Structure 1
């Protein structure tokens, strides 16, 4: 599986640099970390940003460009170098390779040639660590089908369970810009919000975005909704895509908690996701909305297959619609059933402490842990008790016992 690659470009030619940027923006596995218009300044940029790949154009000044490639290989050895030129002279190609370039590509650069070069660099083991090459960043959007179904509860507790595993790094974005309350669930008073990020989107980089996140004791990083209701604040779909792309380059899991509006921004989040969890309860209005949303998403390319229906507060009362009737109404299998445990959930919410820390042994918490394991396809380890053969809470919970 592929991770997002951070790439830096140096090209003194404004026209070709713009063409390269436009090509890169169409590749969701690549994050344009930095661009530079002067060869003599690029080493400072590379030392500061530590990109996975440097793309160096040669045409403006071949001697300076070749010198830059040599310095990159010496001073930033973890960075792979792609040389790009309109010239195909054998002596130039040979010198670029001798100076440390892994690939030599032609201008105008085609998307196919660029993607093939990326694959070759990946397989050479010179771009990023082996672990990064194996692990993909998963984007999970959690969406409620109605108010009060517990979608934020699911998003927060799933994120905290994933973050509790030391192998994972997890970020949560609260995209309910008006009434989101993920910060309340985590008892966090943030210094920065998504509004600060959006207002600096033109100059956002790796370090600035990381500083905008608030870290919770569970290990989760939160990017909360704006502090105040502000009708002038707007976060567009393209701005969100930039934020998500950068977070994917940093975290193994990204959880996005959306509102019930399903606007362009939230649909962009859904489109970028590996999993779209529709959270519902087993009453008629909720199930009706599940059907409506499934019918709508099935008309959109590549979204219908991502949908995963999650029944929250399963077993709430005998007055609920039966499970078999709910399945008939929905018309597809349910991905997960979260058991009803109102007392445990209310205590966790009112204390601002996630279930994994508040009640690690509760049946409700175990359900979230098992759901996280299923989503992560075995990344969250399990183990069996040595006596009796019964399954225990997962290995990474053992320190809480």
Structure 2
């Protein structure tokens, strides 16, 4: 699990409370455990949730809020109190700090000021910056078509990440109708994505982990719903809430997308740090890569997150050459995964990850290399050609597109 800060907020003013909530919900290394609109109810909130940080807005009633700071400093010493106010009056600031607040923040609060204050709290609670809060790397695995190996890549990358005891890793199966990540892991889950979506507003980090299925590799799985009708309640908005909670709970989140590129899939893609587009070296797959990349150009900032991964490289039967594929696509191939059909069938049918079933196989080593590259992506990724050059090559390859 990440060294995430669990936060409770009290502010009787709806506008400033909503602004602070929005800011907190946008931070990967914090989780908003609870928010409250009444000072008198906040001690009960603190007692029930035991957050790391309590944020108290003072402006609705300075005297009442300072008494609240003093009470919580005494009754809940493990909760760090941050006070916030539009006032910069020195007497108020001194009163608040003497009452027990760790820091005094000025409203309207900037993202940078809040982040800096929470970083100081995190360093005090968890240690130095190196041992402090970690953000979550979200890796979305997409396919150029069905059957290209997205689930096998997602499951085995997740297990490789989880093999490092410094990581905590979750796998989310977003193929809502036909997902089979649980089969790859020989798991029989008690709860699914539908259950988590239904209860996401009531979940905290501990309850979330109890809702996931833990594999012997250390990987946590959140599978697709069992019944098709259960997929109806899973929307892009509800998924964003689930991803937010998962990001606050784990250092790595791997998402196995469906092939429909629905609003739910696109919400996951938008949340991702990196999107691996899995393809094979055949004409239907490469045409779909072109089509998808043309569509991704319309989403601001998305193309820079996309990396093309060729699966089943070395398959003898009529594959397009790698050189020709790179020329056609106008960008580098991020990784090659070798063809090893027999090994992959064995691991899928046995429900055992590659690192356990075939640790020395070339496909296992290739996935290890891919995992290492993803974790050091800023240093290893090379810049692609300019957007205009890429755009012209996509459109030249796609018949009927306007130049």
User: CA separation in 1, counterparts of 2:112 and 2:125?
Assistant: 14
Structure 1 residues 248 and 27, CA, compared in 2 at 3 Å: closer, same or farther? closer
1:290 aligns with 2:289: yes
Query: Mean Cα displacement is larger for which, 132-141 or 320-329?
Result: 132-141
1:19 to 1:276, Cα distance in 2 relative to 1, 3 A: closer
Query: 1:149 Cα shift?
Result: 0.2
Does the alignment pair 1:255 with 2:251?
no
Q: CA deviation at 1:52?
A: 3.8
Cα RMSD after superposing both structures: 2.6
Deviation at 1:355, TM superposition (A): 0.7
Comparing 186-195 with 120-129, greater Cα deviation is found at 120-129
Give the whole-Å Cα distance in 2 for the aligned partners of 1:286 and 1:232.
28
- Displacement of 1:242 in angstroms is 1.4
Question: Aligned in 2, Cα 1:61/1:134: closer, same or farther, shift over 3 Å?
Answer: closer
Superposed counterparts of 1:118-133, under 5 Å: 118-123=115-120, 125-126=123-124, 128-130=126-128, 131=130, 133=132
Structure 1 match to 2:365? 366
Superposed displacement of residue 365, structure 1: 1.2
Does the 8 A contact of 1:52 with 1:128 survive in 2?
Answer: no
Query: Where does residue 223 of structure 1 map in the other structure?
Result: 222
Give the Cα separation in 1 of the matches to 2:292 and 2:302: 11
Pairing 1:320-335 to 2, within 5 Å after superposition: 320-335=319-334
Give the 3-state SS of the residue equivalent to 2:66 in structure 1.
helix
For 1:232 and 1:270, locate their aligned partners in 2 and report how far apart those are by CA, in whole Å.
Answer: 19
Question: Is contact 1:187–1:353 with CA below 8 Å preserved after alignment?
Answer: yes
Using the TM superposition, give the Cα deviation of residue 210 of structure 1 relative to its aligned residue in structure 2, in angstroms: 1.7
Q: CA deviation at 1:55?
A: 0.8
Deviation at 1:66, TM superposition (A): 2.6
Verify: 1:34 aligned to 2:34, yes or no. yes
Give the match's secondary structure for 2:232. coil
- 1:184-228 per-position Cα deviation (integer Å, ceiling 9, x unaligned): 111111110000111123323222322211101110000100011
1:131-280 equivalences in 2 (<5 Å): 131=130, 133=132, 135-230=134-229, 233-280=232-279
Distance 2:105 2:82 in 1: 7
Alpha-carbon distance in 1 for matches of 2:44, 2:13: 19
1:331-350 aligned within 5 A: 331-350=330-349
In structure 1, distance between residues paired with 2:147 and 2:258 = 11
**Further displaced range: 116-125 or 367-376:** 116-125
CA distance 1:132–1:46, change in 2 (3 Å): farther
Q: Report the equivalent of 1:99.
A: 99
TM-score normalised by length of structure 2: 0.85
Aligned residue pair count:
375
Deviation at 1:135, TM superposition (A): 3.1
Q: In the alignment, does 2:53 pair up with 1:53?
A: yes
Instruction: Report how far residue 34 of structure 1 moved.
Output: 0.8
Q: Which runs of 5+ in 1 are unaligned?
A: 379-401
Query: Bigger CA drift: 52-61 or 164-173?
Result: 52-61
CA distance in 2, matches of 1:318, 1:76: 68
Structure 1 pair 42–127 and aligned structure 2 pair: CA distance change class (3 A): farther
| Cα offset, 1:137, TM superposition | 1.1
The whole-number CA distance in structure 1 between the counterparts of 2:94 and 2:116 is 21
* Comparing 205-214 and 60-69, the one that deviates more: 60-69
Distance 1:3 1:245, change over 3 A: farther
Deviation at 1:36, TM superposition (A): 2.5
CA drift at 1:18: 3.9
**Residues 1:319 and 2:309 are matched in the alignment:** no
- The answer for the alignment partner of 1:81 in structure 2 is 81
